[in-house]
Amino acid sequence: MIRRPTLLHRKLRDADLRLGERLLAAVGASAVAAVPTALLLVLIEAHWGPLHRLDAGAAQRLHAVVRDHPAVLSVLRALSNGVWDPLTMRLLVAAAVGWLLWRRAWRLAVWAAATTTASGLIGWAVKAAVARARPSLPDPVAHAPGFSFPSGHAMTAATCCTVLLLVSSPALRPGWRRAARAAAGLSVLGVGFTRVALGVHWVSDVLGGWLLGVALVAATAWAFEGWRRDTGRPVPPPLSEGLEPELAAGGPARPEG
């Protein structure tokens, strides 16, 4: 006996197709429509005086402090190349994706994985297109391969920390949720500081990475919220309740497949 798909399953299937289309469109849109990042890049290319002075001044002052304090240098290297390394950030998201799969939140798992993967690809593409040289400082304390804009560390931190917050917020108690937000904010800011202090990025590189990362998550989150509307699910305020608040009650409120 052939089992015909129910109206609910057809509705979910159609919504899934639209979710995939929205995710692809969101990734493309975030790559070309990150207006603040584009404006920042224009100012960089135009050698705008205030931004140039900020870049040069921060690089020189922080480099001098770090060079003269070996203990500080060791801590910054450990943070930048270990705790806040892009690989570490992506592994945390991978763990979150595994947890979502265990909770049967298939589509949210796809969203988290797709957003994080797109972040790496977009960052690489923008670096290759802009081809900005890294700071060249006397007696450098650190080296990094490739081009400078945007900061891959900063973009990865902004993307991964925001993804982790949007995924985990429903399952956290209010106190833990506040602690997670504080840890995410500290990590994003700390990554930017370490990259400039180690002399491998300009301040504007870090700003560009942050802006691109946030723009990407905002775009793909919009795509996920569209899927919820298509399936008749409420769309909560993502910053306070996450993208799938049903996780707080032990799982999606309706069958996911």
| pLDDT grade for 253, boundaries at 50, 70 and 90 | very low
For residue 253, what are the contacts with CB-CB under 8 A and spacing of at least 6?
233, 246
pLDDT reported for residue 96: 94
Neighbours of 245 (CB within 10 A): 20
What's the distance, Cα to Cα, between the start and end of the chain in Å?
21
Burial of 191 (0-12, 13-18, 19+ CB in 10 A): buried
Give mean pLDDT, residues 234-239.
75
Quote the CA–CA distance of 154 and 143 in Å, as a whole number.
16
Comparison of pLDDT for 143 and 180, the residue scoring more: 180
Torsion angle of C-alpha atoms 61, 67, 69, 73, degrees rounded to 10:
100
The confidence score (pLDDT) of residue 25 equals 52
CA–CA distances in Å: residue 53 to residues 39, 61, 85, 175, 210 = 17, 12, 28, 41, 20
pLDDT digits (tens, 9 = 90+) for 24-69: 555 555 555 456 677 777 777 777 888 888 888 888 888 888 888 8
Banded pLDDT at 19 (limits 50, 70, 90): low
The CA angle 157-163-166, to the nearest 5 degrees, is 135
Count CB-CB contacts under 10 A for residue 48.
14
Q: What is the pLDDT of residue 226?
A: 76
Confidence of residue 255 (pLDDT cuts 50, 70, 90): very low
Distance separating alpha carbons of residues 16 and 12, to the nearest angstrom:
6
Residue 1, pLDDT score = 43
pTM: 0.80
Report whether 157 contacts 89 (CB < 8 A). Answer: yes
Q: How many CA atoms lie within 13 A of 71 on its CB side?
A: 0
Round to whole Å and give the CA distance between 20 and 26: 10
The predicted structure's pLDDT at residue 5:
52
pLDDT at residue 34, rounded to an integer: 58
Per-residue confidence at 93, pLDDT binned at 50, 70, 90? very high
Kindly tell me if the per-residue pLDDT of 191 is higher than 90.
yes
Query: Per-residue pLDDT tens for 119-157?
Result: 999 899 888 888 888 888 787 777 888 888 999 999 999
The Cα 29–Cα 33 span in angstroms is: 5
Highest mean pLDDT among 8-17, 110-119, 247-256: 110-119
**Cβ atoms of residues 147 and 44 within 8 Å:** no
What percent of the chain shows pLDDT beyond 70? 82
> Which residues 6+ apart lie within 8 Å of 80 measured at CB?
142, 153, 191, 194, 195, 198
pLDDT of residue 18: 53
pLDDT score for 224:
79
Q: Copy the structure tokens of residue 240.
A: 């306070």
Range 230-241 average pLDDT: 74
State how far Cα 129 lies from the chain centre: 20
pLDDT score for 92: 95
